[in-house]
């Protein structure tokens, strides 16, 4: 190895360390702002901030960002696509970080066997058939139950994702999906997840969700998780009872339109 090569290697390492430190500072500042927003939202709602958990949505961002967030005290991260999440979770685990992985995107039944290997929570179950496939995969691929949320459709649009609050569709009705999950041997029904529909004001969306959640908990009182609210509407979600908020761009920056 020549002196020039050694010098270039040292300079490259220094540049990488500087970039890492700069990114860590960016994430630390964003995390401080987000935690302050959550604290203010809880105060306005008369809630204890300990009641609301932050999920950092790391989709399209590298494992290095997840590792930096772990260093900064983040415990929960969310991913939308198995093909990205699986290798990212493996890289983070290999680096020694202990993160709780939430799968929050639309889940295809043929991806269940992969997802159950790294996910701690699946938030997007919206059909009886998907619940059955996930149960079978968890039975074969896990040594402990998998926490699951039912994704509920706030506007009851059958074309979009989410279980339907009424009982019209035997595969996608909220009660049928919840009952299948509650009966599953390898899954644990933990609660509900929802996304505010496009074109709906957050106040309207989360007020409707709170009504659905109240009825849901009367049938499944142990399933108290309510995952709702993102970067732009977390305050309203907290006001209407969210226990988990999923924050991406407010923490990690704006994503590529391809993400």
Contacts 24+ apart (CB under 8 A), 90-97: 90/118, 91/63, 92/63, 92/66, 92/67, 93/118, 95/63, 95/67, 97/66, 97/67, 97/70, 97/71
User: What integer pLDDT is reported at residue 79 of this predicted model?
Assistant: 98
Contact 121, 100 (CB under 8 A): yes
Residue 5 confidence (pLDDT) above 60: no
Supply the mean pLDDT for the chain.
93
User: What integer pLDDT is reported at residue 11 of this predicted model?
Assistant: 59
Strands 121-125, 76-79: pairing kind: unpaired
Neighbours of 110 (CB within 10 A): 10
User: What integer pLDDT is reported at residue 4 of this predicted model?
Assistant: 53
Q: What is the pLDDT of residues 29-85, one digit of tens each?
A: 999 999 999 999 999 999 999 999 999 999 999 999 999 999 999 999 999 999 999
Q: What is the pLDDT of residues 158-177, one digit of tens each?
A: 778 899 998 778 999 999 99
- Helix 202-219 vs helix 174-183: angle between axes, to the nearest 10 degrees? 50
Q: Choose the weakest-confidence range: 27-36, 98-107, 146-155, 162-171.
A: 162-171
- Of 113, 40, 100, 109, which Cα lies nearest the Cα of 70? 100
**Once rounded to an integer, what is the mean pLDDT over residues 204-219?**
97
Residue 100, H or E segment: strand 100-103
User: pTM here?
Assistant: 0.92
């Amino acid at each position: 190895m020549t002196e020039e090569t050694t010098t270039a290697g040292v300079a490259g390492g220094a540049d990488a360390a500087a970039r890492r430190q700069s990114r860590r500072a960016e994430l630390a500042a964003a995390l401080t702002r987000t935690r302050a927003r959550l604290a203010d939202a809880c105060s306005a709602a008369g809630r204890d901030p300990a009641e609301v958990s932050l999920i950092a949505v790391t989709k399209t961002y590298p494992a290095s960002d997840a590792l930096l967030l772990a260093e900064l005290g983040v415990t929960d991260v969310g991913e939308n696509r198995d093909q990205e999440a699986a290798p990212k979770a493996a890289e983070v685990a290999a680096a020694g970080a202990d993160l709780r992985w939430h799968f929050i995107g639309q889940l295809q039944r043929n991806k269940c066997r992969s997802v159950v290997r790294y996910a701690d929570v699946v938030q997007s179950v919206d059909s009886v058939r998907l619940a059955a496939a996930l149960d079978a995969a968890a039975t074969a691929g896990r040594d402990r139950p998998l926490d699951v949320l039912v994704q509920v459709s706030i506007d009851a649009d059958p074309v979009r994702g989410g279980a339907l609050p009424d009982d019209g569709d035997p595969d996608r009705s909220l009660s049928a999906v919840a009952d299948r999950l509650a009966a599953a041997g390898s899954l644990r029904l933990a609660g509900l997840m929802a996304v505010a529909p496009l074109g709906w004001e957050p106040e309207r969306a989360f007020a409707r969700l709170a009504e659905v959640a109240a009825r849901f908990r009367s049938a499944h009182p142990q399933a108290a998780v309510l995952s709702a609210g993102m970067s732009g509407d977390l305050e309203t979600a907290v006001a209407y009872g969210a226990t988990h908020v999923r924050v991406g761009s407010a923490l990690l920056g704006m994503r590529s339109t391809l993400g």
